[in-house]
Structure 1
Amino acid sequence: MDSIKIKETCLYVTDLAQTKAFYNGLLKFKVIGEVPGRHIFFRVGSSVLLCFIAAVSRKPGSLPPHFGSGQLHLAFEVSKEQYHKTKAEVEQNGIQLEQEYDWGGGFLSFYFRDPDLHLLEVVMEGMWERGKE
């Protein structure tokens, strides 16, 4: 199963308009699917970020029900060369950084929140590949 990759990640949100304003308007992620009152999907590199209204997606339908709650976490990856530029762009968009962390070995990441208080992180490329056999 070494060839398996995560293709999509899902967050549960309360307001699709504010979710779109944040992820598309501020972070510039391209909208690739949208059903008013149900979900909005964004392209993030080669992956997809799915944002659902939990109360709607938990109802049985053509797909199995799913939902979640709480302050979830996900991380985005950028090259070491783009890290400081990405951090500056996030701050210039009025998004407050919560913390920057030095993971050692020249790897940094920074944390911020979306409108639903999910914890988002931007990590330097290669951080998770350290020590890989």
Structure 2
Amino acid sequence: MAAPFEGILETALYVDDLDKAEAFYGSVLGLEKISRAGNRHIFFRCGPGVLLIFNPAETIKPPLPHGTTGAGHMCFQVTAGDLDAWQAKLSASGIAIESEVLWPSGARSLYFRDPAGNSLECAEASLWAID
């Protein structure tokens, strides 16, 4: 029997405008860009994992079809003490906070959108803590 997964290695989102995505994820969210391949994709480092941003019009082409269409969702893990600072940073950057949630576990989340309409979340790690 295989061992359990250790975590998420990569997460993919899809956008029509890689330039806007590069500015948003690099400048507004402060992620480190690993690489960009023309108008096909941009990869960013996010903690121990990688955020893949693909252009769906390009990823349907061989040799490596990799994709979907429509808005997706991902969640950034933040330290509990940093959630308010992220809310202030996003607001100062003109990013609307769509929702603030206090979960039954006591964890808090903020929801907002990237320029392509993907649903993004910043949440405290205790959201998915194992009892």
Which residue of the partner structure matches residue 60 of structure 1?
62
Which residue of the partner structure matches residue 19 of structure 1?
21
1:4 Cα deviation from its structure 2 partner: 2.9
1:125 to 2:125 alignment = yes
In structure 2, runs of 5+ residues without a counterpart are: none
- The aligned amino acid for 2:91 is E
Given that 2:105 and 2:126 are in contact with CA atoms closer than 8 Å, whether structure 1 keeps it comes out as no
CA distance in 2, matches of 1:71, 1:47: 21
Which residue of the partner structure matches residue 49 of structure 2?
47
- SS of the counterpart of 1:126? helix
1:38 Cα deviation from its structure 2 partner: 0.9
Provide Cα deviations, 1:54-93, integer angstroms capped at 9, x if missing partner.
Answer: 12111121x3x12111121110111111111112111111
Which residue of the partner structure matches residue 28 of structure 1?
30
Given that 1:55 and 1:67 are in contact with CA atoms closer than 8 Å, whether structure 2 keeps it comes out as no
1:3 Cα deviation from its structure 2 partner: 4.0
Q: CA RMSD in A?
A: 1.2
CA distance in 2, matches of 1:3, 1:53: 28
CA distance in 1, matches of 2:77, 2:24: 18
In structure 1, runs of 5+ residues without a counterpart are: none
Which residue of the partner structure matches residue 73 of structure 1?
73
Given that 2:14 and 2:68 are in contact with CA atoms closer than 8 Å, whether structure 1 keeps it comes out as yes
Aligned residue pair count: 129
Provide Cα deviations, 1:23-75, integer angstroms capped at 9, x if missing partner.
Answer: 111111111110111111111111111011112111121x3x12111121110
Which residue of the partner structure matches residue 7 of structure 1?
9
Q: What is the TM-score with the length of structure 2 in the denominator?
A: 0.92
Percent same amino acid among aligned pairs? Answer: 39
